[in-house]
Amino acid sequence: MSSRRRFLRDFLAGAGLFASAKVLPAQEMETSHGMKDMSMKRNKATAPSEHGAAATVPVQTPDIPDLPFRMDGSVKEFHLVAEPVKQEIVPGRVVDLWGYNGSAPGPTIQVTKGDLVRIIVDNHLPEATSMHWHGFEVPNDMDGAPGSSQDPIAPGGRFVYEFTLNQVGTYFYHSHMAMQEMMGMIGAFIMHPKEAYTPSVDKDFVIVMQEYAILPNISVPNSMNMEFNWLTFNGKSAPATTPLVVRHGERVRIRLINLGMDHHPIHLHGHQFVVTGTEGGRQPESTWGPGNTVLVGVAQSRDVEFVANNPGDWMLHCHLPHHMMNQMSSNVGPLSRRVGMPAGEGMEQGMGMLRGGSATSQENGPSLGRGLGVGSTAGQTMSNSPLKTGTPMQHQHMPGMQMAAPNVSKDANSVPGFPQDAFMEGPMMAMDEMVDKPENYGLRKGWSGFMAGMMTFVRVLPPDKYDQIMRLREKQQGKKLMSDMPGMEHNRE
């Protein structure tokens, strides 16, 4: 909020005028980029009232586009296409997910309380799907429950939803077919109030959390598996996640949405926050207690708010240790370590490598996928083994990666338990240049080596550095695949 607006609000509140401020309708503007149809519009902040009521700010969903809309009379019309997507989780790792309009999670929808909304849903998947509006108070035949409230949407089919939304908060849409949920089919649906809450926020972010079991050299998630090795914020694993950039002193809201198989305790460094909302909407201020970790359960959302009063680059991450890693699979060990042989099963069985089809295909179906993949029973027959002294690890050189030697002591192998993180994070995993983008500008050299899984930064920046990053971001035209960067061409499919 500008100091002028804050002054006005405080002044009017003091004069008893704030509560009676006139409500102005949401305004829209043409979007400037990333649009297929230039007649479509994008949500903009509601205008500040002349009487000084604070404006809502549109949410930002780092790494995920907003879904544009068009006005058809008084109806705000959106168009969602359920389809297979190629999602680049980290540089060079392009996986086959199912999502909406080219991304998983799908694009973020933003509406304002009272909006009459129409959503055209097209099914471009090879099987039937459904579209559920999670937590929406809409007529039963608009709920998208397959079989009970409507027939599933056939492949090639369409269903048009229309409802008036009188709720406020962090909601989401998702396929109500369970296996499809595990292929990525969810998106954020933000319902703004007509006027901002007090205290109003200056920045509002959305993070959708997902998890996948995708083994090395396979591009398709094993949706049957219950242990996950790719953990994502907005479809990216760290260090490919885009930091939340805020100006020192701003009030910040972060909306966390979880649709997966695990709960995620999300922890913010350097600040205390309050939980101001759930998947059911705003919580009364009397319930706000300070914390720095919020547990976001499956099918839940949590809004947290804080004043970014502590300058620096602060980690924001899921605190489950295995959710702070990329591509972790116990069975990868014997491939990279010099001593120790897998017992019982060969590598392919042990790692659950699918040679064709999906986990539920005719070929793999008999096991129902339960023996396939990360953490499969076949994988439990081998243990981690010590490294040979002096030859800690032979890594194929990855172009773009910094690959500096890890810092280990001479007698490391004589210490029970070694190695733990020595080869999992640190200098040899750093890839600063591969994930270079304006939002990462000025981070400490080698930062990316310690970032994986569900991690990102809240960067609380002084005005000059903040403005510099905003200028860099404006200059950057369009959205570029990280694998378009020099050195990564060979990884493209």
Nearer to Cu ion, 86 or 322 (CB): 322
- Contact stretch for Cu ion (CB under 5 A) within 24-32, 33-41, 260-268, 398-406: 260-268
Based on the shown chain and the rule CB under 5 A, indicate whether residue 271 belongs to the binding site for Cu ion.
no
- Cα separation, 493 vs 395, whole angstroms: 23
Nearer to Cu ion, 113 or 323 (CB): 323
Q: Which of 320, 393, 412, 472 binds Cu ion (CB under 5 A)?
A: 320
Q: Based on the number of CB atoms within 10 Å of its own CB, is 106 exposed (0-12), middle (13-18) or buried (19 or more)?
A: buried
Q: Is there a contact between 113 and 104 (Cβ–Cβ < 8 Å)?
A: no
- Contact stretch for Cu ion (CB under 5 A) within 9-17, 216-224, 273-281, 320-328: 320-328
| Interactions with Cu ion, residue window 403-442 (CB under 5 A) | none
- Contact stretch for Cu ion (CB under 5 A) within 264-272, 372-380, 455-463, 468-476: 264-272
Distance from chain centroid for Cα 148: 31
- Cα separation, 438 vs 436, whole angstroms: 7
Nearer to Cu ion, 68 or 260 (CB): 260
Q: Which residue has the tokens 């790692």?
A: 351
Report in angstroms how near the CB of residue 86 gets to Cu ion at its nearest: 24
- Contact stretch for Cu ion (CB under 5 A) within 153-161, 261-269, 303-311, 484-492: 261-269
Strands 186-192 and 106-112 come out as: parallel
| Interactions with Cu ion, residue window 144-203 (CB under 5 A) | none
Report in angstroms how near the CB of residue 141 gets to Cu ion at its nearest: 36
CA–CA distances in Å: residue 83 to residues 94, 97, 99, 116, 164? 16, 9, 6, 26, 26
Nearer to Cu ion, 79 or 323 (CB): 323
Distance from chain centroid for Cα 320: 16
- Cα separation, 161 vs 78, whole angstroms: 10
Q: Is there a contact between 222 and 215 (Cβ–Cβ < 8 Å)?
A: yes
Largest CA distance in the chain: 78
Based on the shown chain and the rule CB under 5 A, indicate whether residue 295 belongs to the binding site for Cu ion.
no
Distance from chain centroid for Cα 347: 32
Based on the shown chain and the rule CB under 5 A, indicate whether residue 323 belongs to the binding site for Cu ion.
yes
Nearer to Cu ion, 251 or 269 (CB): 269
Report in angstroms how near the CB of residue 294 gets to Cu ion at its nearest: 12
Give ∠ CA 43-46-49 in degrees, rounded to 5. Answer: 165
**Which DSSP state fits 4?**
H
Nearer to Cu ion, 53 or 266 (CB): 266
Helices (H), 153-193: 178-181
Report in angstroms how near the CB of residue 295 gets to Cu ion at its nearest: 10
Tokens found for residue 448: 């990316």
Report in angstroms how near the CB of residue 324 gets to Cu ion at its nearest: 8
Based on the shown chain and the rule CB under 5 A, indicate whether residue 452 belongs to the binding site for Cu ion.
no
Based on the shown chain and the rule CB under 5 A, indicate whether residue 82 belongs to the binding site for Cu ion.
no
Report in angstroms how near the CB of residue 211 gets to Cu ion at its nearest: 8
In one-letter notation, the amino acid at residue 98 is W
In one-letter notation, the amino acid at residue 103 is S
Tokens found for residue 316: 């924001």
Q: Which of 40, 131, 318, 452 binds Cu ion (CB under 5 A)?
A: 318
Q: Which of 76, 134, 255, 264 binds Cu ion (CB under 5 A)?
A: 264
**For the window 201-230, what string marks contact with Cu ion as x by the rule CB under 5 A?**
------------------------------
Nearer to Cu ion, 237 or 376 (CB): 237
Residue length of the chain: 493
The count of chain residues that interact with Cu ion, using the rule CB under 5 A, is: 4
Report in angstroms how near the CB of residue 323 gets to Cu ion at its nearest: 3
CB under 8 Å to 481, separation ≥6 — which residues? 88
**CA distance from start to end of the chain:** 45
| Interactions with Cu ion, residue window 469-488 (CB under 5 A) | none
Nearer to Cu ion, 43 or 237 (CB): 237
Nearer to Cu ion, 80 or 458 (CB): 458
Residues binding Cu ion (CB under 5 A): 264, 318, 320, 323
